[in-house]
Structure 1
Amino acid sequence: MKDILQMLKQHSESRGETHAVQHEDETMTYGELETSSSLLAHMIRHTTKPIILYGHMSPYMIAGMFGALKAGCGYVPIDTSIPEQRVQTIIKKVDPDVIFNTSSEELAVEGVTILNIEDLKATNTYKEQEPQIQDDSIAYTIFTSGSTGEPKGVQIYYDSLVEFANWVVELNDNQLGQHWLNQAPLSFDLSVMAIYPSILSGGTLQLVDKKMINKPMLLHELFAREPIHVWVSTPSFMELCLMLPEFDAGSQPSMGTFLFCGEILGHKTASMLLKKFPNAKVYNTYGPTEATVAVTSIQVTEALLSKEKVIPVGAPRKGTSLSLTDDNELVITGNSVSAGYLKDPERTEKVFFDNEGQRAYYSGDSAQYREGQWYIQGRVDNQIKYNGYRMELEEIEAKLKQLDHVREAIVVPVYRRGKVAHLLGVTMTTHQIEDEAQTTHDMKAELKHILPEYMIPKKFVFVDQLPLTHNGKLDRKKINEVYGS
């Protein structure tokens, strides 16, 4: 198994002028990444607390990550799109000695040393030292949403990160020197799937920022300008790109591997992608932040799509085992599992436990296992009770998306006096709807063949685009706020 920091050093010596990271006109070579990260490691060598990396898609965010790993203290990434109150909550929780601010925004925190890019550039001497991180050191802590409204800091061990990065490189057939596209903000753990495998394999990491996501033609220009070999994104982001002109193998012949995580990969999305890139390998992966990004994978092929109406998440990777509770909640066991939530023993004890000497985690996902494959059915907490029936909203959404003219769908429970009064289907269709009443009637008629009557939404709303979170996932919370009242 290849060590991340050793491979960075090796690439800096053998391919030092090759671009390691690119973002618009900002680039950082392997030689510069090795030097910058070593300079930062020297500057923060005395801290034992994780440093906070604040910024968006600057290559210096990547240098900060490697610098923190070399120093042995680990890091907490915070994207500039995160609301100020949440930023302050995270900083208070981490209580860092150092913040590395890679943005142009002012960031003042009492009692904390703030370093910026100019400080790093002004430091040109450092003593060469061996990386201080150990296998059982915390490499990074990523904050996710908590049910109480307070974000949870998920701590990931260095050896879990190394194992994961090597596994993703293997999925990409151990190919070297390729361009990896990363769509996810660096504070979202999906970005880990692009950053470390890219550097481990001597590739070039191409960062896509929020401006490009909001203006798809900028993406089109990027794809025309840069060869992309490995694609890492949420399925929702791919939905956006599939609508771009000339997004196909003819215009982007270099695209050979697509890796999806963070959401359910829809059957239509996968089918359309394979039609546009028939020779590419498409992987559906699954995993929570608490289990180092992803723990299962399956290659999605035309044969699989013809056999399955719902795409499975596949089989677990080496070193990870999956099981189910009596309530069909998925349990993940193995070295991929997090060390727990930062400074939060109460919530840690609720979902992390010891399983015969191995770390284990209650995922909160409802799952099924059949014919050697795992299927994710949705969140346990997305179950609702309606007219006495307990049901999974994601199951209804999956059936909706099987209808020919439905591209994407979210089912929203509409409450009256604290009870579910009816279900509402918020749908994005493949073509313009001329008669909403007739379309609603037709959809209900079709759904009667595949769903019990009580699971069919009473009403439908037709939209041109469903909102995405800053992480590139469907914004279920926002949709519920708009339509669920």
Structure 2
Amino acid sequence: MDFLAQLAQHKKNKPTAISFIHREERMTYQELDEYSNGLASMIADSSKPIVVYGHMSKWMIIGMIAGLKAGTGYVPIDTSIPDERVEKIIQTIEPEYILTAETLNITCSAKQIQPGSWMTELKFNHINHPHDIAYTIFTSGSTGTPKGVAIQYKSLDGFIDWMLSLYDIPAENYWLNQAPLSFDLSVMAVYPALASGGTLVMIDKDMIKKPAEIHSQLIEHPISAWVSTPSFMEMGLLLPAFSQETYSNLRYFYFCGEALKHKTAAQLKNKFSDASIYNTYGPTEATVAVTGVKVTDDILDQYNPLPVGMPRPHTKLSLSPEGELLIHGDAVSAGYVKEPEKTAQQFFEDNGERVYRTGDKAELRDNLWFINGRIDYQIKLNGYRMELEEIEEQLTKIEHVRQAVVTPIEKNGRVQYLVASIVSDYEGDVTHHVKENLKNTLPEYMIPRKIRTVESLPMTPNGKVDRKQIKEAVS
């Protein structure tokens, strides 16, 4: 069913039901409908997407839905994004309207709309076409210039349908979202929550720094579905009471954005034995995620590293002669905004289908897809070519090692040695313990020269491990 039609049904059937919670902020389905109608009426004549600026605010959700209703689409920008980058995004989009849920610290010609500064007693007849751009999310470019990934409405609708096929709607239907709205992982929580008539519960950047606040949210609200990066889940697993007994309504976990480590999945399955745990994979350019697998005891027993599963409907995968994973079908983006050369490099047509070159190495085994790292995520040390992710995988298999990141230390453009930053509760000589264990699984040249123990690994605002910050700390 069309997403906006689903929203209209919820407004009609359950107008006073809560659609959104962030700290003390609440919003009903009626309020979401009326505010987004009014805003859609205001921006409907625009030929540009509306920019929604803020952090975990209901007004950002209103702006996003208004952009869909008006057919303009939207561009989410989180307050954690540096002003210089925000300026580049706005220069690229050239919006006519910016909804400012927070103060915007740059000067631009777009009209800035204050939250609630428009009429709500309006009906709005929205007509979406499958090829309309629903949203544009900016990702990091290799040159430092952000790339705007344009996702069509049909791609978003197909993703929502697939996500809901992996979810049996419970009586208490609450979705936890950890990702900023400018990070496409948030799409995995926002739209299934609203499409299913549930309540979206937002975890903000300050809560992420204080795990006890996450616990309080899980206690206060009967969360049924958890959406996050694996790194964020690893932090959750450190909570003493993180278990099915404590959070009895929490029965669905969805992970994307990073590789889900076998050890993390096994620990989670041990604490939530009856839960459905999904490992998914997909780049921003293919509408959040294109594959998924339910992590069962059998999957855990058979595979390490874990598979990412099989493609969702209307999507297929193939391999290039070089072993690069290619994504075909409706999930694939319309391309990069105002970047025809980069679009031509990454996207092409095959028998009338859009195809995206992922840059990931992959293989199909036992009718399941496995991601084997990035084509460009290799280093050469003393003449040996190696994968940093393989070393990290072996580190996290060691008893008492909870998380690990390996950083190459370079001098004059060449890698000199490796440093492993680990979170560990080992009480003895950690360096000796780690290196002795690695000798059983890795050749000598792949074992990091230095082992650095930290209380926790820093995370980006998106909930991924902040490799840049770690590199600055060890260099």
Tell me the TM-score normalised to structure 2 length.
0.97
Distance 1:215 1:149 in 2: 31
- Within 5 Å, give how 1:136-155 maps onto structure 2: 136-155=131-150
User: Are the counterparts in 2 of residues 20 and 199 from structure 1 also a CA contact under 8 Å?
Assistant: yes
Tell me the residue number matched to 1:114: 112
Distance 1:110 1:300 in 2: 47
- Within 5 Å, give how 1:17-56 maps onto structure 2: 17-56=16-55
1:395-429 Cα offsets, whole Å, 9 max, x none, are 11111111122111111111122211122222111
Residues 476 and 108 (structure 1), Cα distance of their counterparts in 2 relative to 1, 3 Å cut: closer
1:461 aligned onto 2:452: yes
Shift of residue 480 of structure 1?
2.1
Distance 2:427 2:373 in 1: 29
1:63 aligned onto 2:54: no
User: Are the counterparts in 2 of residues 54 and 61 from structure 1 also a CA contact under 8 Å?
Assistant: yes
Shift of residue 387 of structure 1?
2.1
Tell me the residue number matched to 2:466: 475
Amino acid at match of 1:93: T
Tell me the residue number matched to 2:274: 279
1:310 aligned onto 2:305: yes
User: Are the counterparts in 2 of residues 399 and 447 from structure 1 also a CA contact under 8 Å?
Assistant: yes
Structure 2 unaligned regions, length at least 5: none
Tell me the residue number matched to 2:377: 382
Distance 2:226 2:374 in 1: 26
Amino acid at match of 2:97: V
1:136-178 Cα offsets, whole Å, 9 max, x none, are 0000000010110000000000000000011001111355761
Farther off after superposition, 169-178 or 357-366: 169-178
1:350-397 Cα offsets, whole Å, 9 max, x none, are 111112211011111122221111111222221112222222111111
1:434 to 424, 428, 431: 428
2:412 to 392, 411, 417: 417
Q: Helix, strand or coil for the counterpart of 1:236?
A: helix
Distance 2:452 2:363 in 1: 30
1:272-294 Cα offsets, whole Å, 9 max, x none, are 11111111111000000000000
1:350 to 340, 345, 362: 345
Farther off after superposition, 463-472 or 216-225: 216-225
Q: Helix, strand or coil for the counterpart of 1:265?
A: coil
Residues 326 and 106 (structure 1), Cα distance of their counterparts in 2 relative to 1, 3 Å cut: closer
Tell me the TM-score normalised to structure 1 length.
0.95
User: Are the counterparts in 2 of residues 54 and 78 from structure 1 also a CA contact under 8 Å?
Assistant: yes
- Within 5 Å, give how 1:84-233 maps onto structure 2: 84-103=83-102, 105-107=103-105, 109-120=107-118, 123-126=119-122, 128-173=123-168, 178-233=173-228
Distance 1:36 1:269 in 2: 41
Residues 130 and 259 (structure 1), Cα distance of their counterparts in 2 relative to 1, 3 Å cut: same
- Within 5 Å, give how 1:320-331 maps onto structure 2: 320-331=315-326
User: Are the counterparts in 2 of residues 176 and 202 from structure 1 also a CA contact under 8 Å?
Assistant: no
Residues 414 and 433 (structure 1), Cα distance of their counterparts in 2 relative to 1, 3 Å cut: farther
Distance 1:176 1:342 in 2: 41
Distance 2:443 2:428 in 1: 28
Amino acid at match of 1:111: S
Distance 1:283 1:404 in 2: 25
Shift of residue 298 of structure 1?
0.6
Distance 1:277 1:297 in 2: 19
Tell me the residue number matched to 2:260: 265
Residues 413 and 107 (structure 1), Cα distance of their counterparts in 2 relative to 1, 3 Å cut: closer
Shift of residue 432 of structure 1?
4.2
1:403 to 380, 398, 404: 398
Q: Helix, strand or coil for the counterpart of 1:224?
A: helix
Amino acid at match of 1:80: T
1:340 to 330, 335, 339: 335
User: Are the counterparts in 2 of residues 265 and 284 from structure 1 also a CA contact under 8 Å?
Assistant: yes
User: Are the counterparts in 1 of residues 307 and 368 from structure 2 also a CA contact under 8 Å?
Assistant: yes
Distance 2:388 2:361 in 1: 11
Distance 2:343 2:275 in 1: 40
Amino acid at match of 1:154: V
User: Are the counterparts in 1 of residues 37 and 120 from structure 2 also a CA contact under 8 Å?
Assistant: no
Amino acid at match of 1:27: R
Shift of residue 433 of structure 1?
4.1
Farther off after superposition, 168-177 or 275-284: 168-177
User: Are the counterparts in 1 of residues 78 and 180 from structure 2 also a CA contact under 8 Å?
Assistant: yes
Shift of residue 214 of structure 1?
1.2
User: Are the counterparts in 2 of residues 230 and 256 from structure 1 also a CA contact under 8 Å?
Assistant: yes
User: Are the counterparts in 2 of residues 69 and 132 from structure 1 also a CA contact under 8 Å?
Assistant: no
Amino acid at match of 2:137: I
User: Are the counterparts in 1 of residues 172 and 249 from structure 2 also a CA contact under 8 Å?
Assistant: no
Distance 1:419 1:213 in 2: 36
Amino acid at match of 1:112: A
Shift of residue 443 of structure 1?
2.4
Q: Helix, strand or coil for the counterpart of 1:293?
A: coil
1:83-107 Cα offsets, whole Å, 9 max, x none, are 111111111111000001112x245
Amino acid at match of 1:455: M
Farther off after superposition, 446-455 or 14-23: 446-455
Distance 2:411 2:348 in 1: 38
Q: Helix, strand or coil for the counterpart of 1:381?
A: coil
Amino acid at match of 2:258: E
Distance 1:264 1:224 in 2: 28
Q: RMSD over aligned Cα, in angstroms? A: 1.4
1:83 aligned onto 2:82: yes
User: Are the counterparts in 2 of residues 309 and 402 from structure 1 also a CA contact under 8 Å?
Assistant: no
1:368 to 353, 360, 363: 363
User: Are the counterparts in 1 of residues 83 and 106 from structure 2 also a CA contact under 8 Å?
Assistant: no
Distance 1:480 1:74 in 2: 37
User: Are the counterparts in 2 of residues 261 and 285 from structure 1 also a CA contact under 8 Å?
Assistant: yes
Q: Helix, strand or coil for the counterpart of 1:119?
A: coil
User: Are the counterparts in 2 of residues 237 and 472 from structure 1 also a CA contact under 8 Å?
Assistant: yes
Amino acid at match of 2:101: T
Residues 260 and 115 (structure 1), Cα distance of their counterparts in 2 relative to 1, 3 Å cut: same
Residues 448 and 110 (structure 1), Cα distance of their counterparts in 2 relative to 1, 3 Å cut: closer
